[in-house]
Amino acid sequence: MLTRKQHELICFIADRLAETGVSPSFEEMKEALDLKSKSGVHRLISALEEREFIRRLPNRARALEVLRVPERAIDTRKSAAAKGDKSSPASATLPRPANDVVEIPLHGRIAAGTPIEALEGSTMLPVPAALLGAGEHYALEVAGDSMVEAGILDGDYALIRRTETARDGEIIVALIDDAEATLKYFRKEGAMVRLDPANRDYSAQRYRPDQVRVQGKLAGLLRRY
């Protein structure tokens, strides 16, 4: 059986998820329950986890999933739905907070102009989950201006889905001679691989197929202002 505060918190989280798809922050939970500190929220969250009312989604900030709600909360929602109150959370199922934040590896800087040495790092970059699709992803910081006509600017973060294959016209991360990486359009030109920039001031780069390894393709961009 839940305490009054635990009951209030699970209902508050469920309502917020139904309304916005994003779980409330600890500060919002503290204020909603009129608690003096966030430590009280942490204790309530832990108690609800133990009772399997909620679970925390891994590698995401502010991400809680409601597994079930107390009977009294369900009855309240049913009553509201029976009265035709479409604005009530009763009329919708509880969504997963899909537009929360995930962390993906940030692997150094990648040239959008002349190829530079590929860097590996352990830094993690927080990214809105809505920008990523299925599959494994990582991020690279763009250095250079050769992809500006594709809307990819110096300092942007390229969000890359890992893959070893590509089709003509896709923007890929190409590892050249296992040493240098670049972000370019992928083209096949006879027996050669052509890497095209998106800037008329730059020339295409041509390589033998054995010189180029596809490391992933562009899934999205993140820009900080």
The residue from 23, 30, 88, 184 that is catalytic is 184
CA 6 to chain centre: 30
pLDDT of 201 above 90: yes
pLDDT of residue 202: 93
Residue predicted with more confidence, 210 or 109? 210
Per residue in 77-111, pLDDT tens? 444 444 444 443 433 344 444 446 788 888 888 87
Q: Indicate if 184 belongs to the active site.
A: yes
The residue from 23, 88, 146, 217 that is catalytic is 146
Per residue in 13-37, pLDDT tens? 888 877 777 788 888 888 888 888 8
Rounded to whole angstroms, the Cα distance separating 164 from 3 reads: 53
Domains annotated on the chain, with CATH: 4-91 (1.10.10.10), 101-222 (2.10.109.10)
Portion of the chain with pLDDT greater than 70, in percent: 79
DSSP codes joined into one string, 101-130: EEEEEEEEEEESSS-EE-----EEEEEEGG
User: For helices 4-20 and 71-82, what crossing angle results, to 10°?
Assistant: 40
- DSSP letter (8 states) at residue 31: H
CA 101 to chain centre: 5
Least confident of 39-53, 117-131, 203-217: 117-131
Q: Indicate if 46 belongs to the active site.
A: no
